[in-house]
Amino acid sequence: MGAVDRRAGMATGRIVALDLARTGALGAMALFHFVYDLEMFGFAAPGTTMLPGWRWLAYLTAGSFLFLVGMGLWLGHGRGIRWRGFWRRLAKIAAAALVITAATWVAFPEAFVFFGILHSIAVASLLGLAVLRLPVVVLVALGGAVMALPQVVRFAVFDAPWFWWTGLQATGVRAVDYVPVFPWFGPVLFGIAVAKLMERAGLWVRLAAWQAGPVARALAVPGRHSLLVYLLHQPVLIALVWLATLF
């Protein structure tokens, strides 16, 4: 549920509301990928997921995941970095990212995931620790700058493939899932800033004390296991759509 450390003024443990937010992001992600799979198998018109509405859903979903990463970083390490837990979580995310890269290399060798959402979360987690202590106004300004930079200027020096993780290269990149540091570290910075403001307002303490009912607790389960859900949802969806082709 989430305990309360009243002396520090911060919530500790699981916060159901935060898990519910993760569940919502997972649901949006699954919806987009389901439509993508329908398009891949010919049940939806080619280019469906490239339409503005679906593209915005993908952008907002990725942004919400990274925003929640920023919030989680502050909740987990705002009163002092818990290195053992941090490295354990980072190792899980990095391993899962490598699995995604290997799997998509086999399935889509010309557009495999070399820096997707999990890769971005791993790097953002490291970068986020370096800025946890910055004032809120600086975090917001820095987040805006991170998001704006690739829209304003790009650099040919970053065109080499080993720099594509930055998102600042002058040439386009073809990949199934591509979430580079610029602009996607921006939502993480915003998440840290909002988490700090919520702490000052005492909102985390209130959320931790919320006695969620059975329905809310059930809906929060996917959010508690978001990494596992992320890894399993596409194989399940692809299998279901493939089975539909047999009838």
pLDDT of res. 110: 85
pLDDT averaged per 10 residues in sequence order, the chain, 247 residues: 43 84 98 96 96 97 98 95 96 97 90 95 97 98 97 92 95 88 98 98 95 96 97 96 93
Pairwise CA distance, residues 84 & 62, whole Å: 27
Neighbours of 142 (CB within 10 A): 18
Identify the three-state secondary structure at position 128. helix
pLDDT of amino acid 111:
83
**Which pLDDT score, from 0 to 100, does residue 13 have?**
65
What angle, rounded to 10 degrees, do the helices at 83-107 and 117-131 form?
A: 150
pTM for this entry = 0.93
Note whether 128 and 76 are within 8 A (CB): no
The pLDDT value recorded for residue 214 is 96
Alpha-carbon distance of 19 to 223, in angstroms, equals: 4
Give backbone dihedrals phi and psi of 246, rounded to 5 degrees, phi first: -85, -10
pLDDT at 2: 42
Please give the pLDDT value at position 41: 95
* Strand ranges inside the chain, DSSP E: 3-5, 10-12
Closest-CA residue to 143 (of 77, 73, 192): 192
Q: What is the pLDDT of residue 247?
A: 84
Q: Give CA–CA dist 236/34, Å, rounded.
A: 10
